[in-house]
């Protein structure tokens, strides 16, 4: 049965990028203000908060972030819990909020995520991100996060003939879409030649295959059907949600060319929504690396396994293609403040579905899917959303 009581009534993100001189709580609070008071939702209406942050303990030496962030954002007192699932932290927070509304426990809740990453050195950030992989068995031998996706890329290249140029095309598309998104970290198109610059991070992944280190925040307000009318005439309904886990270790997986948690979570979400991949007008997927977008586009059922690279090449996933993917620029173009990312993906779905995406508006925007993926793919959350008037 599709979910029928969860509505997004407002959604916003801060600018993503190197937000110099602005700390984690200030970033968080800006996102919350944009999604509440600036969107006509009084803060006093919020009954509970679900917060995504990944690893502020290592990045800014701060744990127990949920009450800290809520207090600064003027929401002290309400239940506030932090959800951590590496890069899927934001979407696991969202899923908990969906369950809170569907259970009838609350009518109006906040979902928000934020991360402050650029105040640390690149090596420190690499070390922090590596904590999202298995420390005792993989990180400790020197496997990095880009390395995890390098291994997946090599396997995909071998099995399906995917090339470094195919991956570079994903980066070109991401930068093109981000170039018209004022909240994106990168607002400049890049050529295929530039995307192919051989500055290797983890072969075959090069600098332009990797999402950047970013600061940023994002927030949503979710309500029940009854309360939604108070805030908007056009909410977005979350009709299906799925979540799955897989081994942290890459070495414990039978297939390195697909992520089982993505396949499982998307099946659950489509089934709950009573829809199929072909019913989706567009997708927002977790393109932490270019190969990750290609594999995700296959795992969520947009293309057959092995055909994701071809789809990018043929423009099918472009903003004006038949199946746009990451129409506002994805993690690659917009940035990847880890705890904010899953929430920001829902912000993109909301804006596209209600027709508020400006130059990044996709032409068909009734129904869409978001795919947020944690760490080495050990957690994946997929949500299906529809505009309420569909």
Q: Which residues are catalytic?
A: 87, 336
Q: Which of residues 247-306 bind other proteins (CB under 8 A)?
A: 249-253, 256
Q: Which of residues 305-364 bind other proteins (CB under 8 A)?
A: none
CA-CA-CA-CA torsion sign (169, 86, 220, 297): positive
All residues at 6 or more sequence positions from 255 whose CB lies less than 8 Å from its CB, including other chains: none
Q: In the bound complex, what is the minimum distance in angstroms from residue 122's beta carbon to other proteins? A: 7
Q: Is 205 helix (H, G, I), strand (E, B) or coil?
A: strand
164 versus 287: smaller Cβ distance to other proteins: 164
The yes or no reply on residue 161 touching other proteins (CB under 8 A) is no
The yes or no reply on residue 119 touching other proteins (CB under 8 A) is no
16 versus 289: smaller Cβ distance to other proteins: 289
What distance, in Å, lies between the first and last C-alpha atoms of the chain?
17
Q: Taking the CB of residue 112, how many other CB atoms lie within 10 A of it? A: 34
Q: Which of residues 124-153 bind other proteins (CB under 8 A)?
A: 124, 126-127, 130, 134, 136-138, 141-144, 146-147, 150-153
134 versus 215: smaller Cβ distance to other proteins: 134
Cβ-contact 218, 340 below 8 angstroms:
yes
The yes or no reply on residue 59 touching other proteins (CB under 8 A) is no
Choosing from 17, 56, 67, 204, the residue that interacts with other proteins (CB under 8 A) is 204
103 versus 136: smaller Cβ distance to other proteins: 136
Which DSSP category does 289 fall into? B
Q: Which stretch binds other proteins (CB under 8 A): 116-124, 213-221, 307-315, 351-359?
A: 116-124
19 versus 153: smaller Cβ distance to other proteins: 153
Cβ-contact 286, 152 below 8 angstroms:
no
Cα distance between residue 202 and residue 167, in whole Å: 14
Cα distance between residue 291 and residue 166, in whole Å: 9
Q: Is 110 helix (H, G, I), strand (E, B) or coil?
A: strand
The yes or no reply on residue 168 touching other proteins (CB under 8 A) is no
Which residue has 């009318």 as its token pair?
229
Which residue has 């950030």 as its token pair?
125
Residues that bind other proteins (CB under 8 A): 122-124, 126-127, 130, 134, 136-138, 141-144, 146-147, 150-155, 158, 200-205, 249-253, 256
């Amino acid at each position: 049965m599709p979910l029928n009581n969860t509505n997004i009534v407002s959604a916003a993100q801060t600018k993503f990028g190197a937000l110099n001189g602005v700390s984690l709580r200030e970033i968080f609070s800006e996102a919350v203000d944009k999604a509440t008071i600036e969107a006509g939702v009084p803060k006093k209406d919020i009954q509970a908060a679900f917060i995504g942050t990944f690893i502020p303990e290592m990045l800014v030496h701060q744990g127990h972030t949920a009450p800290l962030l809520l207090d600064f954002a003027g929401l002290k007192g309400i239940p506030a819990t932090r959800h951590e699932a590496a890069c899927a932290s934001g979407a696991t927070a969202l899923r908990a909020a969906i369950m809170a509304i569907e259970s009838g426990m609350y009518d109006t809740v906040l979902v928000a995520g934020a991360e402050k990453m650029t105040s640390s050195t690149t090596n420190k950030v690499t070390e922090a991100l590596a904590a999202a992989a298995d420390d005792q068995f993989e990180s400790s031998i020197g496997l990095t996060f880009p390395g995890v996706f390098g291994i997946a890329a090599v396997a995909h290249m071998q099995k399906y003939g995917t090339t470094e140029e195919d991956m570079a095309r994903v980066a070109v598309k991401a930068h093109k879409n981000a170039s018209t998104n004022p909240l994106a970290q990168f607002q400049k198109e890049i050529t295929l030649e530039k995307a192919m610059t051989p500055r290797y991070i983890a072969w075959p992944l090069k600098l332009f295959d990797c999402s950047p280190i970013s600061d940023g925040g994002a927030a949503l307000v979710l309500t029940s059907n009854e309360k939604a009318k108070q805030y908007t005439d056009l909410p977005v309904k979350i009709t299906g949600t799925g979540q799955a886990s897989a081994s942290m270790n890459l070495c414990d997986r039978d297939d390195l060319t697909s992520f089982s948690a993505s396949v499982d979570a998307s099946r659950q979400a489509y089934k709950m929504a009573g829809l199929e991949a072909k019913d989706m007008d567009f997708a927002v997927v977790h393109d932490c690396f270019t190969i990750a977008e290609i594999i995700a586009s296959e795992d969520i059922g947009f293309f057959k396994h092995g055909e994701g690279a071809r789809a990018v090449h043929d423009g099918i996933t472009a903003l004006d293609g038949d199946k746009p993917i990451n129409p506002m620029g994805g993690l690659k173009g917009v940035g990847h403040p880890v705890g904010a990312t899953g929430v920001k993906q829902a912000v993109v779905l909301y804006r596209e579905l209600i027709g508020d995406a400006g130059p990044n508006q996709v032409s068909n925007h009734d129904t869409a899917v978001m795919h947020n993926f944690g760490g080495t793919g050990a957690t994946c959350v997929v949500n299906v959303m529809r505009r309420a008037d569909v």
